[in-house]
Amino acid sequence: MIVLAFWVLSFLPTPAGGHGDRMLGATFKFFHPASTSTCFLMRHGEEEALFLVTTAHTVEKTNGEKGTLVLRVPQEDGSYQRKDHEIPIRRGDDPLWVKHPQQDVAVLRLEEPLPVEVEALSSEVLASEEELRAAKVEVGTRLLVLTYPQRFEANGAGFPVARQAVFASPPLLPSKTHPTFLADYTTFAGDSGGPVFMETEEGSGEPMIVGLVLAQHHHVDKMKSEYEEREIRYPLGMGTVLHARYILETLELAGKGN
């Protein structure tokens, strides 16, 4: 745990405001006693409203009409204070989020302003297929992932944890045929919904979101004896990532109110 905490602290915001800091400012924990995941906030087109992006299975598993978004309030001395803020996710039994018709991604349009100013990302940072080709991404290309592994937070203010990753499988295109790819990093529950990103080009300071984390992978070893049966799950250290185009498609559906 001490090693992890040291790793996390190296990714806290700095005055430079690079691509990592911009992503950090838009990424938050979204939780309910029955479900916890990562989300990030975006703006799309001419819409004034903010859009919360996460996995569909997160909001589907969240019981009741509200979920909690962990916001961070900047203080005059440069520190941050955690602020848990409830947001409506259902009206009765009717979901307020929009789910992609085929993929495990959901977008919730926030109808009310948040009590804290946040640095939401423009949907223009979502990687198109043309941008992926231009970036010449391949197996081994470096990535960053922001999540809340096992509900773990970087500090008392509720910052997410940054981890380095690489493409573990080629991000095959077209993404309509190959909607997901694998990323190699130490995965945990709570990673779902986290943004997976890189710098548009070295030194630019501009982030490019290539996808969001959907799931982690395990190898299940089944053992059986005369008196006992059990399964041991070994983490493979790989996460499934959904291509960014599906985030954009879901944003467009949410913007239309569909």
Position 50 scores a pLDDT of 96
Q: 53 and 251 in contact (C-beta within 8 Å)? A: yes
Position 218 scores a pLDDT of 58
Report in angstroms the alpha-carbon separations of 253 from 45, 54, 56, 91, 257.
12, 15, 14, 19, 6
- Tell me the C-alpha distance between 138 and 32, whole Å: 37
- Per-residue pLDDT reduced to its tens digit, 217-252: 656 777 777 777 887 777 778 899 999 999 999 999
pTM to 2 decimals?
Answer: 0.85
How open is the CA angle 175-132-24, to the nearest 5 degrees? 100
- Per-residue pLDDT reduced to its tens digit, 33-47: 877 899 999 999 888
pLDDT greater than 80 at residue 198: yes
How open is the CA angle 13-21-209, to the nearest 5 degrees? 155
Task: Please give the torsion angle defined by the CA atoms of residues 146, 43, 13 and 116, in that order, rounded to the nearest 10 degrees.
Answer: -110
Range of the domain at 226: 1-258
pLDDT greater than 90 at residue 1: no
- Tell me the C-alpha distance between 6 and 229, whole Å: 39
- Tell me the C-alpha distance between 50 and 88, whole Å: 13
- Tell me the C-alpha distance between 14 and 29, whole Å: 20
Domain count, the chain: 1
Most confident of the ranges 87-91, 197-201, 225-229: 87-91
- Tell me the C-alpha distance between 196 and 145, whole Å: 5
Q: What is the mean pLDDT of residues 116-128?
A: 95
